[in-house]
Chain A
Amino acid sequence: MTDARARAEERTQLFRDLLKGKTPKRVPYSTAPAMEYVIQYAGYDLEKTLWTLKDLDKIYDKFCAEFLSDTNPVGTYRLPTFYQILGSKAFVMGSGGFMQHPEVVGLLPEEYDEFIASPYDCILNTILPRLYTALDAEPSQKALVLAKAYRAYLDDFGVIAAVRNKMHEKYGYAMLAAGFTIAPFDFIADFPRSFSGISIDIRRRPEKVLEACEAVTPLLVKKGKLPPSVEYGYIMIPLHMAPYMREKDFEKFYWPTFKKLVEELSANGHNCYLFIEQDWMRYLDYLNDLPENTIMRFEFGDPKLVKEKVGKKHIVSGLYPITLLQTGTKEQCVDKAKELMDILAPGGKYWFNYDKSVLTIDKEGRIADNLKAVTEYVYENGKY
């Protein structure tokens, strides 16, 4: 067995144990940088590289050689070409090359009934042509646009997959399949109705919002499901709106269909991976009610409270503030890692990860230096 294969096997075993709720040999670790940072770190032009993906293997090889991680760092899902072909208003590239999501409205309040009757048809007939302007065209043109966009999507993600495999072969990462879906209320809010639109709707047309969440849930379960043949993997669900809601609204509008989504996906044999954006400390008791071994990556919060309320039943991750990598000294960064590990690692069910991904490089190189120091600390001190 090559070194890389042995490393991959060891790392995969960490996650096999973690996902089943067993204490692994050591704390599993994921590194922080997103593709945008990795491109800049290798000295390449961000915008040009996101369009062409040229030299992506060299770019990642530099990063992977310097930064340890148990999970494969290669990944993204916001690439500009297919969004451009579709005339996207939902995702646009900013002047610095970063993909951004402006506030958009794809569904008007009077169109809720159309959505409730058939969410998929409404998405294709009404929502997409508003948010992806090249689809607002006669049928033949629309079909061609969709075909070109899908071709671009497959081409680009084919390159990503090849680079991912190459890094896996060389550096030996854990083999984990990953799915992706969204909580029903967030789905309605994010693109169809917008943050401000849904906030009005829960007061003016609460029944329609509830019916829409129910109607779209089966689609979101389908979107998230991994094939039954996948033995180990997770379904990522980033959570958006709940911290901005009153608890009684959360309980009525957000929680029931979100819980149903997580329960149905978990019943299929895979762990859900919640990326818990913003501060969910007031909802910890709800989260604890989800199926055992749900992965909960927190952006903010009190680690002691998290461990106490959800850490016995679920897998906790996140909470390490990436801003500290940019502003702190090496000692402060390592102290933070020690503090989190002392609280969260005992008893297992802990995956070291950061509160979010690092996107932008700093001129001084402090992020990279601090990241290396934190990584070294976790690997040296994470053994059970």
Chain B
Amino acid sequence: MESKFYLTWEDYKQKFPELEKRPEEAVAPKLQACEDAMFNFIVGLLM
């Protein structure tokens, strides 16, 4: 999705390089779940 407001895990790592040291299997799903929850809320406001 082309957006400056929706971050993928790759976007997060670019924005916060210190994340490279964190356990990806724990951190990535957690951050992505928050990203998706906000996406669903925002898009849901137009439904």
Q: Are A86 and B46 in contact (CB under 8 A)?
A: no
Smallest Cβ-Cβ distance to B47: which chain A residue? A182
Q: Does B26 interact with chain A (Cβ within 8 Å)?
A: no
- State in angstroms the CA–CA spacing of A223 and B4 once bound together: 18
Instruction: Determine the chain B residues whose CB is within 8 A of the CB of A121 once the complex forms.
Output: 2-5
Q: Are A219 and B47 in contact (CB under 8 A)?
A: no
- State in angstroms the CA–CA spacing of A106 and B14 once bound together: 33
Given A190-B47, A218-B1, A219-B1, answer yes or no on A128-B42 (Cβ-Cβ < 8 Å). yes
Proximity string of chain B (31-47) to chain A, C-beta cutoff 8 Å, 1 when within and 0 when not = 00000001111111111
- Report A25 CB to chain B, min CB distance, Å: 35
Q: Does A171 interact with chain B (Cβ within 8 Å)?
A: no
Instruction: Determine the chain A residues whose CB is within 8 A of the CB of B44 once the complex forms.
Output: 77, 180, 223
Q: Are A187 and B47 in contact (CB under 8 A)?
A: yes
Given A120-B5, A124-B5, answer yes or no on A223-B43 (Cβ-Cβ < 8 Å). yes
Q: Which of A106-161 contact B (CB under 8 A)?
A: 106, 117-118, 120-121, 123-124, 127-128, 131-132, 150, 153
Q: Does A80 interact with chain B (Cβ within 8 Å)?
A: no
A77, A117, A118, A190: the one contacting B46 at CB < 8 Å is A190
- State in angstroms the CA–CA spacing of A123 and B46 once bound together: 9
Q: Are A86 and B45 in contact (CB under 8 A)?
A: yes
Q: Does A222 interact with chain B (Cβ within 8 Å)?
A: yes
A contact patch SS: helix
Instruction: Determine the chain A residues whose CB is within 8 A of the CB of B45 once the complex forms.
Output: 86, 90, 128, 131-132
- State in angstroms the CA–CA spacing of A131 and B47 once bound together: 12
Q: Which of B1-28 contact A (CB under 8 A)?
A: 1-6
Given A90-B46, A180-B47, answer yes or no on A150-B1 (Cβ-Cβ < 8 Å). no
Smallest Cβ-Cβ distance to B36: which chain A residue? A222
Q: Does A172 interact with chain B (Cβ within 8 Å)?
A: no
Instruction: List 20 additional contacts besides A128-B45, A222-B1; criterion CB under 8 Å.
Output: A77-B44, A90-B45, A118-B2, A120-B43, A121-B2, A121-B3, A124-B5, A127-B46, A128-B46, A131-B45, A153-B41, A180-B47, A181-B47, A182-B47, A187-B46, A187-B47, A191-B46, A218-B1, A219-B1, A220-B43
Can you give 29 A-B contacts (C-beta < 8 A)? A77-B44, A106-B46, A117-B2, A118-B2, A120-B3, A120-B5, A120-B39, A120-B42, A120-B43, A121-B2, A121-B3, A121-B5, A123-B43, A124-B42, A127-B46, A128-B45, A131-B46, A150-B38, A150-B41, A180-B47, A181-B47, A182-B47, A190-B47, A219-B1, A220-B43, A222-B1, A223-B39, A223-B43, A223-B44
